[in-house]
Amino acid sequence: MTGLDEHLPILQILVPLFGAILTAFTRSGVLAWTIAAIASAIAPFISAGLLMRITETGKPISYVMGSWAAPWGIEYRVDLLNAFVLLLISLIGLVSIPYARKSVATEIDSHKQPWFYTMYLLCLSGLLGIVITGDAFNAFVFLEISSLATYTLIGLGRHRRALLSAYQYLIMGTIGATFYIVGVGLLYLVTGTLNFVDLAARIGPAMQEYPRPILAALAFMTVGISLKLALFPLHVWLPNAYAYAPSFATAFLAGTATKAAIYLLIRIYFSVFAVAIPFRQLPVTEIVLVLSLAAMFIASFAAIFEQNAKRMLAYSSVAQIGYITLGIALANKMGLAGSLVHVFNHAIMKTALFFALGAMAYRTGVLSLPSLSGIGRKMPVTTAAFVVAGLGLIGVPGTAGFISKWYLALGAIEHGWTWLVFLIVLSSLLAVIYVGRFVEIAYFREPSADLAGVREPPPTMLLPLLALAFTTVYLGFDTRLTGGIATRIAEFLLGGFTS
Amino acid sequence: MIAAQPETLVQLAILIPLAAAALIPLFHRAPNLRETVTLVSAAALALIVWSLYGPVMAGARPELNGPEMVPGIRVALKVEPLGLVYALVASTLWIVNSIYSIGYMRGHDEPRQTSFYVCFAIAIASALAIAFAGNLVTLFLAYEVLTISTYPLVTHKASDEARRSGRKYLLLLIGTSMVLLLPAIIITAAVAGTADFTTGGILAGKLSPLLMTGLLALYVFGIGKAAVMPVHFWLPAAMVAPTPVSALLHAVAVVKAGVFSILKVVVYIFGIDTLTNSGAVDKLIWIPAATILIASLIAMTKDNLKARLAYSTVSQLSYIVTGALLATSLGVIGSGMHIAMHAVGKITLFFCAGAIYVAAHKTEVSELTGLGRAMPITFAAFTIGTLSIIGLPPFGGTWSKWYLALGAIEADKLAVVAILMISSLLNIAYLLPIPFRAFFGRPPASAGAAAAHGHKHGHGHAHGDGKIHEAPTACLIAISATALGCIALFVYPDFLLDLLKQIPLR
Amino acid sequence: MTGWEVIADHYNYYVTIFLMVAGLYIVIARGNMIKKLVGLGLFQTSVYLLYLSPGRIIGGTAPIIDERFSVYSNPLPHVLMLTAIVVGVATLAVGLALVVRISEEYGTIDEDEIFAKDEDQ
């Protein structure tokens, strides 16, 4: 087994990639699903294996592609940060796949189902690739693999607006990726390397000679990645994309796609540019802070007034991403740890919420809030799980969301900005309103006649949902996996930097 | 009493109501068994909490530590005398209230009784977790669970009015706790490096007087359950709930959780000496003091019986907050006593209000004229509760007011003494006329007929003869028990007093 | 160096910037979905130029180890841009496929008209 052990980093990508090739040749949805399920089930074990090896040895794992030594060849370099995000993405894949079977079977035409799973697996391997690679250009390629698969997944939604949303996302996503690659190009021009570690070593000296291209590169990369992670006001593609995509695609993407982009931003800021350039030479803290606060408040308000349940949650995602970028902007130990904790927690909670909505759509076929009146009496378990995850969004103690907020607030205090603590908690009050609105609709209105025969979803959908709802609560108490690892990551990313 | 490790007792105190919450749904179709579960767990819980009395008096401080939630802070329980007072009150009154609930809910044919009892049990579990919380984060956790578990109780009727009140309840309680209390806790943890409840406080010398005042204000307003004006609006709104909920939660568990939290923060987070020296209390004490008077005045204008009782509660809660902010040893004792005394008195009054509603379907004070002859036990108990709230001997309320006044003198704040006196007069003015009117007023001729037709819920069949009878027996048992409790607490206050004297202040 | 020399020395960058901005402008300003994709293609093309032009050394040859050659062009940018071109083609293909489907569903590929049709419902 030692041989296989060596190759864990590349297997992380290859398993879903080969799965994608296999599914492309199948004609049956069930067979394609089985292949996807096997690939999704293997991926988390590889991530967990990588994470365990790193925590044991304390050293990053380097894997050299085709024996071309870095910096000439492509290096896969897994440290605690990658391993953490890899585990998250592959875990979301794992819980999603049992859910997919029934949901996809009802929402996608049967002859398209094998393709749907092909796209899902391509998306999964692309996202894992972004996170695992140690090469700036390779990251772009994986970014585009996952994005192209995502456009297709979204376009397969049943409503014709899904096509329009996919097209708009394609335009904006491509612009974002191109901005990123322009930034990479500028860095390559002044340093002659694409390897993240090598870049980090050379940017410092190059800064003496070519400060302007380097800062321009940073700006290009920031804008490009911000488009992919939906930082306000570059989020406009997200609400429609999430609202019209098939239920399963929304749930999977909400938990993974933006998270991989956030990983890339953290990697660029804290590893490649080594913290000092973005946070000393450029006013990144101020800019990202303002945009994050705008996201937290404006997107939450949009969620409050939204009539479509999926779009309500999509706006909520934009707001929650605001929390994550807020922690990045603070650029101190607790703030950055808070960001990473929230990356994990938000992925769990939001996937749970979209699972619940998907289950409701599976049974009722509708997702406008008024038509879900009284759903709490017809689908009590599903609705209860939705409420638990919703409490997590609010940040009620005893749920994962509380832990995120605690870290972020400590980060704000560490920065000397006590006022920011009040803004952080104030915006969670807006979540009370939109979650509360759903609760009132679900429990206080009589079920309409359309919901007459509605009952709980099949166990394959219900169990993943319950598992995530339980995890939301579990992560509110046991924070070794989230808070503990995130703090260690923040410590090594920041090195000796103090903001 | 049970002879077991105190730590085990603490564990059981939280687990028993939770187990009840898990068991109750299993007996959804067998109401008698379901109610048995409630009663048995209530009795077991009270027994366990009382078993802690001996060890705590002997100096034991049982502790339990859970997983580390946020950096350096664990979920932790630690029993200390003040918390035990609150736990004793909540757990003992849960028995009485359960008996009453059964009579009320059945007499009233309420829907969704199973979920009612489940939420109730969770609320009790969180109340006990608040009582025994070992640090601010655990306290906050239990505090929020209490809010959320009581939301379905407040909105039990599922009417539009219930929904509106529920909104107010949730937004005000979650709002204040999230926006004011949580930052206060985070700042405290960041400044002090710990959030444990510690003898003498953890903030001595760490904050300037101005910041100390600001932080204390965050706690006083952030703990919205204490209903200090202007964050009291949720309490009258919560009165839309069924009466047993108003009785146990909004006269005892929830509101006392609020004032208890403030008291605990004052004693174990700030430390009374630190507070006195910083001068923070001198500025802030006038807010609860004003609340005492204003709430009493508003209570006088309310004709709805439960609304009047609600404002009376707002006013009485501020006694406790004022006592806490006196930051003297006698003030703390007075506050602690008032938690118990007011709880027993006010639960009696709410029980009576509920009994009147079940038996006669009256909700307004002006409709009660002459009702005392039809419901003598209920109104006798109401009179006892009233007198205890006013603070007249031979009823329990006397002692707490006595100690509060002594505390005010000890703190050299004679104005507070004056406010306590004026407020007692106001209490007489808005509470005493109710039993007076019921016993001595002349009933209007159409009273019986109105009772049979004048309500919406279609329970007129019970009163086909047009006469009003006493409330169901289960209700009467509960009412008599708490009324007698008011008297017993006057005769035997020592066990409480001894316990409160154990609170380590310095 | 005079100002003109600087411009002459960096003319490849000016072309890059022109293509980039022109492409971006088309994407933003045009309502026709095909034209938007054309603009997107132009925008991506500018990146190829950004990478390739500095990688080329005048008089340099392909990097073949041989005694006769001493000056080589850097091969890496070419490899990278080969990949980027593939990505660009794939993006264009997916984009065009979406436009075909949109045209089938809506009967138009003009964004304003599509929005108007969705508003009507």
B392: left (phi over 0), alpha (psi -120 to 50) or beta: beta
Q: How confident is the model at residue B448 (pLDDT cuts 50, 70, 90)?
A: very low
Chain A residues within an 8 Å CB radius of C95: 167, 170-171, 174
pLDDT tens, residue by residue, A482-497: 888 899 999 888 876 6
pLDDT of residue B2: 58
Flag whether pLDDT at B459 surpasses 60: no
Rounded to two decimals, what is the model's pTM? 0.91
Rounded mean pLDDT, A141-158? 93
Q: Which of A403, A433, A480 sits opposite B70 (nearest CB)?
A: A403
Beta-carbon separation of C91 and A175 below 8 A = no
The predicted structure's pLDDT at residue A299 = 93
Mutate to test the interface with B, among A341, A439, A488 (most CBs of B within 10 A): A439
Q: C28 vs A161, B118, B366, B384, C38, CA distance in Å?
A: 20, 57, 71, 78, 12
A296 and B CB contact within 8 Å:
no
pLDDT for the residue numbered B1? 52
Number of domains observed in the structure of chain C: 1
Q: What is the CB neighbour count within 10 angstroms for residue B26?
A: 12
**Residue B7 contacts A, CB cutoff 8 Å:** no
Looking at beta carbons, which residues of chain A come within 8 Å of C20? 182
Contacts of residue C69, defined as CB under 8 A and 6 or more positions apart, other chains included, come to C61
Q: What is the distance between the alpha carbons of residues A173 and A123, in angstroms, rounded to a whole number?
A: 14
Contact between A54 and A314 under an 8 Å Cβ cutoff? The reply is no
State the smallest CA–CA distance between residue A308 and chain C in angstroms.
Answer: 15
Q: What is the helix (H) or strand (E) element at residue A265, kind and residue range?
A: helix A247-266
Alpha carbon separation from A438 to A270, A433, A473 (Å, rounded): 39, 9, 20
Write the pLDDT tens digit of every residue in A157-181. 888 889 999 999 999 999 999 999 9
Report how far residue A242's alpha carbon sits from residue B292's, in angstroms, rounded to the nearest whole number.
Answer: 52
CA pair distance A256, A262, nearest whole angstrom: 10
* Structure confidence at residue B451 (pLDDT): 45
Four-residue CA torsion sign, B319, B320, B321, B322: positive
Cβ contact B70–A432 (<8 Å): no
**Cα gap B396→B341, rounded to integer Å:** 6
Q: Which two tokens stand for residue B459?
A: 């329970």
Among A398, A422, A432, whose Cβ lies nearest the Cβ of B174? A432
Burial of B464 (0-12, 13-18, 19+ CB in 10 A): exposed
**What string of DSSP letters covers C81-117?**
HHHHHHHHHHHHHHHHHHHHHHHHHHS--BHHHHHHH
Mean pLDDT (whole number) for B133-158: 89
Segment A63-74 shows an average pLDDT of 77
**Taking Cα atoms as reference points, which of B461, B437, B462, B310 lies closest to residue B371?**
B437
Q: Which residues of B touch A407 (CB under 8 A)?
A: 70-71
- From B211, which residue of chain A is nearest by alpha-carbon distance? A418
Ramachandran area for residue B391 (φ above 0: left; ψ -120 to 50: alpha; else beta): left
3-state secondary structure of B469: coil
ipTM score assigned to the predicted complex = 0.92
Identity of residue B87: A
| Region of residue A290 (phi > 0: left; psi between -120 and 50: alpha; otherwise: beta) | alpha
B139 contacts: CB under 8 Å, gap ≥ 6: B130, B133, B261, B264
The full set of domain ranges for chain B reads 6-457+467-501
**Within an 8 Å CB–CB cutoff, is residue B210 touching chain A?**
no
pLDDT band, very low/low/confident/very high, at A369 (cuts 50, 70, 90): confident
C108: CATH: 1.10.287.3510
CA dist., res. A251 & res. A93, Å (int): 10
Q: Are A375 and A368 in contact (CB under 8 A)?
A: no
Interval B483-504: pLDDT, tens: 998 989 888 888 888 888 888 8
- Distance of alpha carbon C94 from alpha carbon A246, whole angstroms: 18
Average pLDDT of the residues in A61-86: 84
Counting one residue from chain A and one from chain C, the pairs whose CB atoms sit within 8 A come to 67
Among A115, A170, A184, pick the best mutation site for testing chain C contact (most C Cβ within 10 A). Answer: A170
